[in-house]
A and B are shown apart, each in its own frame.
Chain A
């Protein structure tokens, strides 16, 4: 079965603290993995994808095929990082996105 699991509905941290949003996936094959973010009253937008191996807004995510995980990390959270974060999987050669249930990140001052 193709599935994405985000175990935390809500993650609250203070500004400057490290952040790790967990994502585990189930897929028999080589998926493409993404993190999408939705800021308050804004559209869902791509934050990063595993094949680009970029750091966006200080966030990184490493694909661990052994643990089937794609956790999102940032060493020092900022208040503007407060948003809803969705991990998503795209099966090979499709645009179909299978989303996790999302994690709301709250960064307190």
Chain B
């Protein structure tokens, strides 16, 4: 069974631009969560989606948004990029809620 995939794997943007990251969960998984990983702040929760509904949102500004499609694939968008948004963005999926989460390889975003 294929694991969680994230595209693109690497991305370089400049301040003020916007970016969309994509996550394809394991087939059959309906829950998708997003995390930001930085050396300074560690792993921080961004969003949790289940059956196209956002169930939880982390403490991030409104520039960070996400959505989930009917096939459970998820995207997150960051608008008006700032230097501090440079991070590894991880996606995780699980079969149902409160189940083991499987992580993707991450998208490395660099903001110049």
Contact = CB atoms under 8 A, between A and B. Distances in A.
A101 interface: yes
A98 to B, nearest CB: 7
B42 A46 contact: no
B96 to A, nearest CB: 9
Interface string A87-109: 00010011111111110000000
B33 A46 contact: no
Contacts of B56: 94-96
Contacts of A96: 33, 45, 48, 56, 58
A45 interface: yes
Contacts of A102: 42-43
Contacts of B100: 46, 49
* B interface, size bucket: 20 to 34
B12 interface: no
Interface string B30-60: 0101010000001111001010000110100
A57 interface: no
A100 B43 CA distance: 8
Nearest to B41: A101
Contacts of A94: 48, 55-56, 97-98
Interface stretch (B69-77, B79-87, B101-109): B101-109
B3 interface: yes
Which 8 A-B residue pairings sit nearest by Cβ, starting from the closest? A99-B43, A44-B103, A101-B42, A96-B56, A95-B48, A43-B103, A96-B45, A46-B100
22 contacts: A43-B103, A43-B104, A44-B92, A44-B103, A45-B102, A46-B100, A46-B101, A49-B100, A94-B55, A94-B97, A95-B31, A95-B33, A95-B48, A95-B55, A95-B97, A97-B33, A97-B35, A97-B45, A97-B92, A99-B35, A100-B42, A102-B42
